Amino acid sequence: MDALELLKHDHRMVEQLFRDYHAAYSDEQRRGVVELVVRELSKHAALEELMVYPLAKRVLPGGEEEIDRHLAEHLAVKETLLALDRHSAVDERSDELMRELRTEVEKHVREEEDELMPRLRESVPQEDLDELGRVLDEAKRVAPTRPHPHAPEEPPALTLAAPLAAAYDRIRDRLQRRPRT
């Protein structure tokens, strides 16, 4: 998959996780879905910020302003993810946070898929999108698995912070017996 197809695949996976949350039979199943949503969206956001958004800023007219909007949306998503991650029980508050997160993510996905991705597809050679897709796929294995809303959002500071955050996240995931994806 090229980079844009990979990102769309991530979007579809998260949409399915939202459906799984509402279809879950028990609080334990819903908590498992929450942990997967936190993990997948955290990885996705970190990789977009590290690799896709800097590219868009460079190649798209008006890319700086557009990416600043996307980064602001990411911050809101990460703050909601952090609240979900810290909320260990499945109750009305977690249901409310999942509704809030779904609304934030759906809006963000629409903007990316309807505006940003078509512009990138027109501006970036297919060969480069293919290579970026390979790099993103590999990087998913070592990306941060928890939200870090106060971490840097852009390289070069993000390039230094992300691996440290990822290592810390993976240790916490193992200790808390979180699902791996």
Q: What are the tens digits of pLDDT across the range 65-119?
A: 999 999 999 999 999 999 998 887 777 889 999 999 999 999 999 999 999 999 9
Q: In 10 A of CB 9, how many CB atoms?
A: 13
* Arithmetic mean of pLDDT, 40-44: 94
Q: What DSSP element (H or E) covers 166?
A: helix 157-175
pTM of the complete model? 0.86
pLDDT per residue as tens digits for the range 13-30: 999 999 999 999 999 999
Q: Give the pLDDT band (50/70/90) at residue 160.
A: very low
Structural domains in the chain, CATH included, are 3-175 (1.20.120)
* Both structure tokens of 150: 């106060």
